Homo-oligomer: A and B are copies of this chain.
Amino acid sequence: MPYAHKVRVKPNHSSKNGSLGELALLRTIRAQAARRSSSGLRLGIGDDCALLAARPGEELAVTTDLSIAGRHFRLDWHSAEVVGHRTLARGLSDLAAMGARPVAAFLSLGLPKELTVAHRGKAWVDGFFQGLQQLAAEYKVPLAGGDLAESPVALADIVLVGAVSAGKAMLRSGAKAGDSLYVTGSLGGAACGLERLADLAASRIFSSKKSGKDGARGSFSGCPIPKKLEVLLAAHLYPQPRIAQGLWLRKRGLASAALDLSDGLSTDLAHLCEESGVGAEVEALRLPLGPGATLDQALHGGEDYELLFTAPATARVPRSIAGVAITRIGRMVKARAGQPTITLVRENGREAVKGRGWEHFA
């Protein structure tokens, strides 16, 4: 076949240059994935499709998230483990937002060949799966299938399938004027961490150092990150999907609307307002800032993967759910023509908040 880089199958053999080869790599993934199972997964990797079953009275929630090197991560900034963790965390966070329990994950992975070649016994792709599988184990979600291809740029498309009681999923569209607005955890930590990472990249400290600790947790181009910086970077490098909090909220039926904060509060809250046909007032002093984060990062920084949700003013929302703080940050108001959708209430007055999240192709 005349396509480039498509070659004869060599079953059961790595190629001479140390690359795993697609079939060998698939076998490794399949062996790892087989160790884990979930009640909803009937048939995993190895056939044309995986087979999933919801329990009676359940619907399945499906989400896909595409991560591309140079756009969503940088191979010179993020270790393979970090990329694997973040890839899966993005998908799990979407399930959390609907209040769904994870059933299975699917991964389409496109990689330059060099990322499949082992250095000192370990290839980049090994670290990637290590980071992904570690998080998958925490949430008991099996890797049930996917696709693998050689690609000029590293990319990972993660598909998550979850299950939720029919008609009970938390949507973006249920918020009403008068509802209170809540957020899990803290905001701006991921943006703050990313800024610190950019500073590190710009500094000579890291570009001049070499270390043998390839793929160490929080490594930066193979150099370990100083301990004191780890806490500032953790929110960016290892975001935690709020599955337990989403399940808790959905089971109690407390939330009138919910989504996860991937693009930043200003952008995501605007989505919630648009889908619900309401406006929002956010109180600046109530925003729970992540370690080191500024108000600007809390408002506009993306990738915190916290849950943003609304509940009737009379609802008894606890101060924490499954160990994560819940903070009331404002309230929903009627949408009025000519008025800003989102208003920030500060000590010295009110101002309109415009979405400043990310947009591709703009």
Contact = CB atoms under 8 A, between A and B. Distances in A.
Interface in A19-57: 19-23, 25, 42-43, 46-54, 56
A153 interface: yes
A57 B226 CA distance: 55
A64 B146 contact: yes
Contacts of A322: none
Contacts of A164: 51
Interface string A242-268: 000000000000000001100100010
A76 interface: no
Contact of A53 (B43, B59, B65, B360): B59
A85 interface: no
Contacts of A187: none
Contacts of A7: 358-359, 362
Q: How many copies does the complex hold?
A: 2
Interface string A103-121: 0101111110100100000
Nearest to A166: B53
Which one of A65, A68, A107, A263 has the greatest number of beta carbons of chain B within 10 Å? A68
B9 A191 contact: no
Nearest to A10: B362
A47 B106 contact: no
A227 B270 CA distance: 51
